[in-house]
Amino acid sequence: MVYPQQEGLMSIEATNHYLETAANILGISERLKTVLKTPRRIIKAEIVIERDNGELATFVGYRVQHNNSLGPMKGGLRYHHEVCENEVESLASLMTWKTALVNLPFGGAKGGIICDPRKLSESEIERITKTFTDQIRDVIGPNIDIPAPDMNTNAQTMAWIMHEYSKFYGFSPGVVTGKPVYLHGSLGREEATGLGVTLTIENLLNDHQRSIKDATFVIQGFGNVGGIAAKCIHERGGKVICVSDVSGALYDKKGIDIPTLIQHTHEHHSIKGFQDLEMISNEALLSLECDVLVPAALGDIFTKEVAENVNASFIVEGANDPTLPEGDEIFNKRGIIVAPDILANSGGVTVSYFEWVQNIQRLSWTEEQVNQELQRTITNAYQRVVKLAKKENCSLRTAAFIIGLGRVAKANLTLGL
């Protein structure tokens, strides 16, 4: 399903709206606001490759480097036919506030290539990845900008980038994170975002005298984030009643057998056809009655109309940028509690940081050590956000932006504009 182009605010305007709200509470000057909104660099690359049939094809790739006041810039790289500069800029900005919120020594960046990986062979994707790396290699690096997996990219993609980059600059595992574990990746990285989403849900439900065991869940997206979150929720006794992927949504109000569904998707590359369960649309999924709704696919899905029809008590944003300000306003009015993306999906960048640290120190952590540190980091960030939201009488999103923005603003002022 392709979401129609939204009328109203586009991604970057939406992100800047959240930034403005926090900046006004912090009393940040117009001058500094301008600096904080403006990306350091926007790279547009034309990627020409030879297709398997011998013809040439051109793809457009972006890397937006938003802010490096707190350290090297960090952010994912996505392959999707709807990637556009505006969206990449918004996602890069979100990475700046996210890394600052969880207190990592990183800034924010994001990348994307306009392509539909389902229509490309593995070797064509490899050529696209290596050509793009070659075109941006001067401006990425372990101390400059460190890409990671995002939609439709994975450990294999990161291994190709590391290999291409290392040809020019020598062995450089720290240039990307989310690599295969046997090629300088970290234990726990693949699961980190979905596990972080689950830890956020646990914290949120505990605060409301609820638990995963007595709650129902609806999850949009069954890839790295949605699939792992579903698995972690299922392992903790939660009832996942609906999950979706690009082909539609599977619904079973008795609860879906997630481990068997994961096996099914490995074999069929889709959730379709699983145990003859009822299929509903991705739109219908968003209005199902449940305790916790987890968007874990695309951005810009909660418009005013969609938000009005949401039938959940909590929304935990696994995806980046799923809520437009008009939707956010409705959630706040309706008392639906939203754990914002920069908090809820920060597990990925947190364990990416652990991977980078291990690469630099040339040592390996155990999975237990990674997960313990992840739990500590996410829970600390969650508690700081909840405390500030109570103090300021604001949403968790506004509180999260105040913390992230406050740190970056202070660093920018100290370093000099």
The residue range among 38-46, 62-70, 306-314, 315-323 that interacts with ligand NAD, by the rule CB under 6 A, is 315-323
CA distances from 38 to 88, 96, 398 (A): 13, 12, 20
How many CA atoms are closer than 13 Å to the CA of 208, on its beta-carbon side?
17
Among 131, 157, 203, 282, binds ligand NAD (CB under 6 A): 282
Dist. CA 189–CA 155, nearest whole Å: 10
111 part of the interface to ligand NAD, by CB under 6 A:
no
Among all residues, which ones are annotated catalytic?
Answer: 110
Q: Is 114 in the site for ligand NAD (CB under 6 A)?
A: no
Which of residues 173, 318, 327, 340 is near ligand NAD by CB under 6 A?
318
Distances in Å between the alpha carbon of 146 and those of 37, 134, 320? 21, 14, 18
What is the sign, positive or negative, of the torsion defined by CA atoms of 388, 391, 392, 397?
Answer: positive
State yes or no: residue 108 binds ligand NAD (CB under 6 A). Answer: no
Sheet holding 73-80, edge to edge: 41-50, 56-67, 107-114, 73-80, 145-149
Nearer to ligand NAD, 298 or 394 (CB): 298
> Toward ligand NAD, which CB reaches closer, 142 or 340?
340
Q: Does residue 149 touch ligand NAD according to CB under 6 A?
A: yes
62 binds ligand NAD (CB under 6 A): no
Q: How far apart are CA 399 and CA 8, in angstroms?
A: 24
Q: DSSP assignment, residue 141?
A: B
CB of 244 closer than 8 Å to CB of 221: yes
Burial of 87: CB neighbours in 10 Å, binned 0-12, 13-18, 19+: buried
User: Quick check: 297 binds ligand NAD (CB under 6 A)?
Assistant: yes
377 touches ligand NAD by CB under 6 A: no
> In whole angstroms, how close is the CB of 239 to ligand NAD at the nearest point?
20
- Residues shown for the chain: 417
Under rule CB under 6 A, which residues in 164-203 are in contact with ligand NAD?
193
Task: Examine residue 142 and tell whether it contacts ligand NAD (CB under 6 A).
Answer: no
Task: Estimate to the nearest angstrom the gap between the alpha carbon of 283 and the chain centroid.
Answer: 21
Residue closer to ligand NAD, measured from CB, 33 or 397: 397
User: Of 9-17, 64-72, 242-250, 378-386, which part binds ligand NAD (CB under 6 A)?
Assistant: 242-250
Residues 244-263 as x/- pattern, contact with ligand NAD by CB under 6 A: xxx-----------------
Among 222, 356, 365, 382, binds ligand NAD (CB under 6 A): 222
CA angle 103, 106, 108 (to 5 degrees): 110
Q: Per rule CB under 6 A, is residue 319 in the interface with ligand NAD?
A: yes
**Single-letter residue type at 205:** L
Tell me 3's DSSP state.
P
Rounded Cα distance between 119 and 12, Å, is 29
Q: Which is nearer to ligand NAD, 33 or 66 (CB)?
A: 66
Please give the residue whose beta carbon sits closest to ligand NAD in the complex: 223
> Closer CB to ligand NAD, residue 221 or residue 327?
221
State both tokens at 370.
């990674």
Q: How many residues bind ligand NAD (CB under 6 A)?
A: 28
Judged by CB under 6 A, which of 221, 238, 404, 406 binds ligand NAD? 221
Identity of the residue, 144 or 262, whose beta carbon is nearer to ligand NAD in the bound complex: 262
Question: What is d(CA 357, CA 145) in angstroms, rounded to the nearest whole number?
Answer: 14
The beta-strand segments (E) located in 151-272 are 216-220, 239-245, 248-251
The residue behind tokens 């949605």 is 226
Closest to ligand NAD by CB, 250 vs 402, is 250
**Closer CB to ligand NAD, residue 73 or residue 296?**
296
The CA distance from 75 to 87, in Å, is 13
Least separation in angstroms between residue 394's CB and ligand NAD is 23
Shortest distance, CB of residue 25 to ligand NAD, whole angstroms?
Answer: 26
Member of 133, 224, 313, 371 binding ligand NAD (CB under 6 A): 224
Binding footprint of ligand NAD on the chain (CB under 6 A): 1, 3, 76, 149-152, 193, 220-226, 244-246, 282, 296-299, 318-320, 345, 348
